[in-house]
């Protein structure tokens, strides 16, 4: 714990005195209770044994009769001889170091031109997306005629197949047959590797001396956490083919006949009811749902609500 000698300013004549000096050398006034000690940045460490003994003795006290500053070790006032008794000691204060103020990085002169370009391009991109969005969602009305009606129904056929996969060993599916394994970095973690002594402030010892205040702060390190990865084989249901049925409008819709092998099963079903609509300038293939589709007949005319110039949302 480094001890440094502070300074104080005489409240009577303004002279700055050393912390070890109990009275002003200019006017003779004793330092009163309103005096505050300060520590100059380049104050040297105290090595003199007598000064160190005074620094460690504790805060000085102020005589209740003549206000003279007395070292902690004195039992009687060196000015008037009064006993210390209930005389108040000067306050011992801890003064924390101001934390470092993070400097705002100034933009480099050479990058400002580049920065403008980047901003310009970003704005251009935004404008482009906004325009695209406008055209994609813009709706318009258009007269159309039903030119054709088509339906289709399909069923996926899945088969149990052996597939090769890779992943963390502890996340392998049940029934997986591990082929090989190896170590890989899965995550990182913060580990305390020790402590360092950091100066966090100074202590005003209330007697003209200061001492440095240290704190042990933890030191951390980022460490890689390894784990076992593996390659395995496992049986999974995989779509191997899709059976399909289709036909024109007005016909009873049906699901395709499935002819399943021993290791096969039925997968996802899908249904589509398409109306081919001839507009003024183009033909639309539109799926408005099978219920609506059933009410349509080839040759009928409607007003179509078209979104983005390509999708029919509604027929009226």
Query: Alpha helix (H) ranges present in the chain?
Result: 49-57, 109-137, 290-294
The one among 10, 35, 144, 155 contacting Zn ion by CB under 5 A: 10
Residue 35 engages Zn ion in binding (rule: CB under 5 A): no
Instruction: Closer to Zn ion by CB, 12 or 311: give it.
Output: 12
Interatomic CA distance for residues 181 and 175, integer angstroms: 16
- What is the dihedral angle through the alpha carbons of 138, 144, 149, 151, rounded to the nearest 10 degrees? 10
Q: Which stretch binds Zn ion (CB under 5 A): 10-18, 30-38, 114-122, 151-159?
A: 10-18
Residue 27 engages Zn ion in binding (rule: CB under 5 A): yes
List CB contacts of 141: < 8 A, sequence separation 6 or more. Answer: 303, 304, 305, 306
The one among 12, 21, 152, 311 contacting Zn ion by CB under 5 A: 12
Least Å from the CB of residue 106 to Zn ion: 47
The one among 21, 79, 145, 307 contacting Zn ion by CB under 5 A: 79
* Site track 36-75 with Zn ion (rule: CB under 5 A), x = hit: ---------------------------x-xx-x-------
Least Å from the CB of residue 16 to Zn ion: 10
254, 230 Cβ separation under 8 angstroms: no
List CB contacts of 92: < 8 A, sequence separation 6 or more. Answer: 59, 203, 204, 205, 206
The one among 2, 16, 73, 80 contacting Zn ion by CB under 5 A: 80
* Paired strand residues for 215: 198
Residue 77 engages Zn ion in binding (rule: CB under 5 A): yes
Q: List the Cα angle 183/187/192 in 5-degree steps.
A: 110
Residue 175 engages Zn ion in binding (rule: CB under 5 A): no
Residue 32 engages Zn ion in binding (rule: CB under 5 A): no
The one among 2, 26, 132, 223 contacting Zn ion by CB under 5 A: 26
Instruction: Closer to Zn ion by CB, 29 or 234: give it.
Output: 29
Q: Which stretch binds Zn ion (CB under 5 A): 7-15, 147-155, 185-193, 237-245?
A: 7-15
Instruction: Closer to Zn ion by CB, 27 or 198: give it.
Output: 27
Interatomic CA distance for residues 289 and 293, integer angstroms: 6
Q: How far is CA 269 from CA 243, 256, 264, 266, in A?
A: 10, 10, 15, 9
Residue 315 burial (CB count, 10 A): 19
Least Å from the CB of residue 88 to Zn ion: 13
Classify residue 171 by its DSSP letter. G
Least Å from the CB of residue 2 to Zn ion: 29
Q: How far apart are the first and last CA of the chain?
A: 90
Instruction: Closer to Zn ion by CB, 77 or 149: give it.
Output: 77
Q: List contacts with Zn ion (CB under 5 A).
A: 10, 12-13, 15, 24, 26-27, 29, 63, 65-66, 68, 77, 79-80, 82
């Amino acid at each position: 714990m480094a001890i440094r000698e502070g300074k104080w300013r005489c409240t009577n004549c303004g002279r700055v005195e050393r912390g070890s000096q109990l009275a002003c050398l200019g006017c003779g006034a004793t330092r009163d209770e309103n005096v505050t000690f300060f520590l100059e940045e380049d104050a040297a460490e105290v090595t003199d044994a007598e000064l160190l003994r005074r620094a460690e003795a504790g805060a000085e006290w102020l005589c209740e009769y003549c206000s003279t500053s007395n070292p902690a070790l004195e039992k009687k006032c060196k000015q008037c001889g009064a006993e210390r008794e209930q005389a108040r000691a000067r306050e011992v204060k801890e003064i924390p170091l101001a934390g470092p103020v993070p400097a705002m990085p100034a933009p480099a002169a050479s990058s400002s031109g580049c920065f403008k370009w980047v901003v310009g391009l970003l704005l251009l991109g935004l404008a482009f997306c906004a325009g695209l969005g406008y055209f994609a969602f813009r709706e318009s009305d258009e007269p159309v005629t039903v030119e054709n009606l088509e339906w289709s129904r399909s069923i996926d056929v899945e088969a149990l197949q052996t597939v090769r996969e890779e992943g963390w060993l502890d996340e392998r599916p049940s029934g997986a047959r591990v082929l090989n394994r190896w170590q890989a970095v899965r995550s990182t973690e913060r580990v305390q590797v020790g402590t360092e002594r950091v100066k966090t402030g100074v202590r005003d010892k209330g007697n003209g001396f200061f001492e440095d205040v240290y704190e042990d702060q933890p030191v951390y390190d980022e460490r890689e956490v390894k784990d076992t990865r593996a390659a395995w084989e496992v049986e999974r249901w995989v779509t191997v083919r899709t059976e399909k049925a289709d036909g024109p409008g007005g016909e009873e819709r049906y699901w395709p006949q499935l002819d399943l092998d021993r290791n096969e099963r039925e997968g996802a079903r899908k249904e589509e009811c398409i109306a081919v609509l001839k507009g003024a300038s183009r033909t639309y293939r539109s799926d408005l749902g099978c219920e609506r589709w059933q009410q349509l007949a080839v040759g009928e005319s409607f007003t179509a609500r078209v979104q983005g110039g390509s999708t029919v949302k509604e027929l009226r």
